[in-house]
Structure 1
Amino acid sequence: MSDYNPTLPDRTDVAILGGGLAGLTLALQLEQARPDTRIVVLERNRHPVPEAAHKVGESTVEIAAHYFGEVLGLRDHLENEQLRKYGLRFFFRAGENDDLAKAAELGAAHLLEVPSYQLDRGIFENHLGQLARQRGIDFIDAARVTGVDLAEDASSAHHIRGERDGQSFELEAAWVVDAMSRTSLLKRRLDLAEDNGHDCSAVWFRIDRRIDVDDWSDDATWQARCSDLPRWLSTNHLMGPGYWVWLIRLASGSTSVGIVFDSALHDFDALKSFDGSMAWLAEHQPRCHRATLEAGGELQDFRYLRQFSHGCRSVYSGARWALTGEAGVFLDPFYSPGSDFIAISNSYVTDLIVRDLAGESIARRARLYERSYLSFYESSLALYRGQYPLFGHFRAMSSKTIWDYAYYWGVLALLFFAGRTTDMAFIAKHGEALERLRRINGEIQTMFRRWAETEPGSHPGGVLVDQSASPLLVRLNRELTEVGAESEAAQSRRLSANAAMLHALATQLASIAPETVRDVLSSIDPALLGDEDLLAGLPPALIRPTGVESGVELSRA
């Protein structure tokens, strides 16, 4: 690709500013949906980009994996060039135990139905760039966009200015999509940035060696209980009060290590150097600190980002512009939702562009898509905002994770796998139920936070909260593989059933929480509760702990 020397056209149908993950996948999706569309992608970095240390954002979950693998047809690349992931895995109080088998663990002992992957972003984006050029997309690397003049009316074109190899260029486009991540031109130009009240920060680095959490214990029983794949193929989270540490193995052989924290509880300035981060690990996660030192190898990069989460007042416009990926909104790296929101946003943008270029008026649809997308964003933000203080609390955080998975698989992922994300009639049909679930989600997140504040933290050493032993979670994950082939009526029934299930799940999770925090759940419909035991398969240490609340054993209501 380094020998590729494209000629930049004077005019195009769609100009995508930014050729990273969001921009390149949008270009491929748009070309797939409307092959005769003229597309120019302008990327600041020169390709091929470095492997391993190119960008953060290596972990995918179900929506993104489905988008990359099935919607864009990249399954072979994911299976052959990236790493199949052993799910998300969480360890509580790992910092207090040199032997990781003595920490509480939450994750799947056995692989669930829907695959997900660890992405080496350099390898992946190089592949996307090659595909784009093979499919006739004008992917222009080493191109710095310096300005955008938006069209004054529907009959005019947008004007993009930039520089490449010391030469200035201008480009006219019917559509302009900003995929420039945090350097978004349109967000600054239109004053769209919005503080979302989620003040967390992150530091991260890559080393060219493998850090293997399976080496952190010699306990044969612990080794055997999660044996489908090595644990290092999970996105491993070391949980603590106000923070979590990620460990992600990459296909290039490197390991990504990140520390994500509530800025009010941990000092960003003390962490924003490699030495400072290592000192912090030595204090809070000494086993991880030692493993990093023992791994040796070369430090490939070190980066930091203060207050990474942000909102956006507008992302799609009937005036033929849009923002996608981090140029629009970004939530939090916990649960790895970044690529999910790229998938959802790109699907909205693709549909708007295809309809507009076919002559359809899109002004109303752009407003509906924006409202739907920002509603998904706001509902998901409740999972993170104000929640970091409870991250080290085993019972509250494990219960929260069960709810968060069920809410994600049962609603947002179901809509995407069913192909209904852009079906506004389908979403409107379920609008009242979805809005009520949004309220319940906000209420139960408050309950989890108060739970951690109220109940002394218990430490059931060595326990596994096995998601693959939960009939509920196994079913919700499996149903994602089935829903795409169903009729609209069947999909509608499934979404309604999941909504009722979430009312019941919230009630059952509240029954194992301290009684004093349950009153925040005011939006549950008692008529939807049912008789199914939705907490089946979860360990007694989570459901019926002893030594909590004055030594009284809690029982399910």
Structure 2
Amino acid sequence: MAAGNPDVIIAGGGIAGLGLATQLIEQNPELKITLLERSRFPVNNVTAKVGESTVEIGSRYLSHTLGLKDHFASQHLQKFGLRCFFGSPQTDFSQQDELGVSRRFDLPTFQIERGLVENHLQQRLLAQGVTVLDGVDIESVELGQGTQQARFKDQHGQHQTLHSRWLIDAAGRQALVKNSLGLHKPSHHRGNAIWFRVDKTIKIDDWSNQTHWHDKIASCGQRWLSTNHLMGPGYWAWVIPLGSGATSIGLVMDDIAYEQAAISNYNEALAWLDQHQPHLAAALSDAKVLDFVNVRDYSYGCDKLFSSDGWALTGEAGVFADPFYSPGADFIALGNDIISHIISQQSNGQAINRDCNVLEFFFTNFFDNTVSVYRQQYGGFGDRQMMSVKLAWDYAFYWGVLVLLYYKNAVTSVQTIKRFIPDLQHVISLNQTMQALFRERAQQRRILTPQGMFIDQYELPVLHEIIGQLTDESLPLEQALPNSRRCLEQLMTYFTDMLSSNPTKAISDGERALLADYRHQVLA
């Protein structure tokens, strides 16, 4: 490359691009990296980006790989799990049915201020010698075999061109590389989202003064720290607290619910909430709106993400599944780990074509399995029984397979992935069978009469067993993955029966150790 040109151009300075630059410079200090970002730093801490909630893979990546553990502990909120509420509007919120945990599982996750993280990483990168050009408008990218080009207008309005060995698109829905190479691909899942932030801390704990309701949680008054979901047929609303004191609100709907709601602005969103989720509407009545975004048909895939020619896509520049379960940071983590691995391999003089192909295959299967969790299932989101089974199954599969592979550092090991293909194919088949059953049930769009019950997922021993495999660093993947397979095989038998119209399966003492009293709670 000519003098002044970098080894790597990263287009996009959100968490995906900044995170990748951090990995690359720390693993390969000799690399010259230039990051191009449309916004000016420092960005607003409460920035208008969806994805404040993290789950286990994304949290592990941010806190361990990027070294943000202390930053999260001091600047952000630790989550109290995922929590769902079911039922038509009630006089008192305690009459809603609740699905969640009474105590935190031993896998820390966080509610993050995206802008705060981005500003922190940008300052670190500058100190490490990475060139960050902000306030730029990327006009085009040209991709070749070993030589990439980015044309942009800098913050002074001057046209600039950079050449590099690698170009990474981390610029989100601008779709720079997708548009250049025609890589757009449908995900076969349709969803629609409206989200906004308000300048107010909204605490769900304040929505009832019933002592018996507050006492169901070990840490009284801490429900608000969960990613709270208000559920209904074809939709869910999120309530996510942020460390700044702001709150993120989202309405996510399938096409049926979205077309019926006909929401195009904040006032219409508030009117819809007043009818369907009046407790949230009341909490918003004196709040100031900070931003408002409406996105139709948000989910998409990509034909190719990693090329040995010298380009790759990460974050929303590549794929987007769905906001439910908050997997966005997971895909950033997985994509960035793969890209960092490939670039490091090449920098060390090793061939990368095989790794690109195998890891592309792994990422695509990871994405397809994630999308299957949502496809044609929103109709059942108001169905307490279905969602109680679904969340337990989805947790078991996610923690027992996907998180396990990540925690055991297997996701960039081609040899490991190839060795476990039979086990992975089997558990993926189990997952597809269960997701088909959820889709069938979801078509009924059931709403059960609320009973004010609390279904405590913390009391499911199988989830503790699976989590124990993640926290036990001495347990090899060769032992842990078959254990997960066994758990999933047993769970599928019980959960299939629980989803039937007339569940009949008796639970033996041995089986009760796997399911505890969860089945009884769900079917009450």
Report the TM-score, using the length of structure 1 for normalisation. Answer: 0.89
* Among 504, 509, 521, the residue aligned to 2:495: 509
- Say whether residues 1:203 and 2:194 are aligned partners: yes
Q: 3-state SS of the aligned residue for 2:51?
A: coil
Identify the match of residue 267 of structure 1 among 259, 266, 269. Answer: 259
Equivalences for residues 392-407 of structure 1 within 5 A: 392-407=382-397
Cα pair 2:382 2:445 within 8 Å, conserved: no
What's the counterpart of residue 61 of structure 1?
55
Structure 2 vs 1, CA of residues 125 and 112 (structure 1 numbering), >3 Å: closer, same or farther?
same
Alpha-carbon deviations, 1:393-434, whole Å to 9, x = none? 000111001000000000000000111111122122221221
Give the distance between the partners of 2:91 and 2:201, measured in 1 at CA.
19
Q: Does 1:315 align with 2:301?
A: no
Q: Say whether 1:122 aligns with 2:108.
A: no
* Deviation of the 1:196 alpha carbon: 1.5
**Match 2:277 to one of 285, 304, 324:** 285
Alpha carbons 1:447, 1:517 under 8 Å: kept: no
The reply on whether 1:40 has 2:20 as its aligned counterpart is no
Take 2:118 and 2:316, find their aligned partners in 1: how far apart are those partners?
16
Structure 1 vs Structure 2 CA RMSD: 1.9
Q: Is contact 2:315-2:328 (8 Å) kept?
A: yes
Shift of 1:313: 0.6
Aligned residue-pair number: 516
Instruction: Show the counterpart of 1:422.
Output: 412
After TM superposition, list the pairs within 5 Å mapping 1:155-194 onto structure 2. 157-164=147-154, 165-194=156-185
Retained in 2: the 8 A contact 1:162–1:168?
A: yes
Match of 1:300 in 2: 290
Matched, 1:217 2:221: no
Q: Contact 1:13–1:175 (CA<8 Å) still a contact in 2?
A: yes
For the residues of structure 2 that align with 1:63 and 1:297, how far apart are their CA atoms? 33
Q: Deviations over 1:168-221 (max 9, x none)?
A: 111111100000111021001111011112111101111101111001111111
The answer to whether residue 126 in structure 2 is matched with residue 146 in structure 1 is no
Change over 3 Å in CA distance of 1:305–1:9 after alignment to 2 = farther
SS at match of 1:480: helix
Q: Which whole-Å deviations, capped at 9, do the CAs of 1:364-385 have from their partners, x for residues lacking one?
A: 2101111110000001111001
* 2:7/2:32 contact within 8 Å kept: yes
2:280 is paired with a residue of what secondary structure? helix
Which deviates more from structure 2 when the two are superposed, residues 142-151 or residues 451-460? 451-460
**CA–CA separation in structure 1 for the residues paired with 2:434 and 2:341:** 34
Deviation at 1:436, TM superposition (A): 2.0
Code of the aligned partner of 2:208: S
C-alpha deviation, 1:33, in angstroms: 1.5
1:270 Cα deviation after fit = 1.7
Of 69, 74, 79, which residue of structure 2 is paired with 1:75?
Answer: 69
For 1:432, the equivalent position in structure 2 comes to 422
- Give the 3-state SS of the residue equivalent to 2:194 in structure 1: strand
2: CA distance between counterparts of 1:516 and 1:190? Answer: 52
Match of 1:360 in 2: 350
Q: Which moved more, 1:110-119 or 1:473-482?
A: 473-482
Measured at CA, do residues 255 and 236 of structure 1 come closer, stay the same or move farther in structure 2, by a change above 3 Å? same
Deviations 1:240-294 (A, max 9, x none): 000000001111110111100002332288212111111111121111111111x
* Corresponding residue SS for 1:498: helix
- Counterpart of 1:237? 229
Unaligned runs of 5+ in 2: 505-509
Contact 1:471 1:537 in 2 (8 A): no
Whether the 8 Å CA contact 2:11–2:168 is kept in 1: the answer is yes
| Structure 1 residue 9: Cα displacement | 7.4
Secondary structure, in 3 states, of the residue corresponding to 1:140? strand
The answer as to 2:92 corresponding to 1:112 is no
1:499 aligns with 2:485: yes
Question: Judging changes above 3 Å, is the alpha-carbon distance between structure 1 residues 249 and 456 closer, same or farther for their aligned structure 2 residues?
Answer: closer
Partners of 1:455 and 1:514 within 8 A in 2: no
- Counterpart Cα distance in 1 of 2:297 and 2:63: 31
- Name the SS for the 2:165 alignment partner: strand
- Asked if structure 2 preserves the Cα contact closer than 8 Å seen for 1:53 and 1:206, the reply is no
Tell me how far 1:510 sits from its aligned partner. 1.1
* AA matched with 2:412: T
Within 5 Å, give how 1:464-483 maps onto structure 2: 464-483=454-473
Q: Distance in 2 between matches of 1:453 and 1:355?
A: 47
CA distance, structure 2, for counterparts of residue 282 and residue 467 of structure 1: 30
Q: What does residue 125 of structure 2 align with?
A: 132
- Work out whether residues 380 and 446 of structure 2, in 8 Å CA contact, stay in contact via their aligned partners in 1: no
CA distance in 2, matches of 1:399, 1:9: 59
Deviation at 1:480, TM superposition (A): 1.6
The SS at the match of 1:271 is coil
Tell whether the 8 Å contact from 1:394 to 1:459 is kept in structure 2 after alignment: no
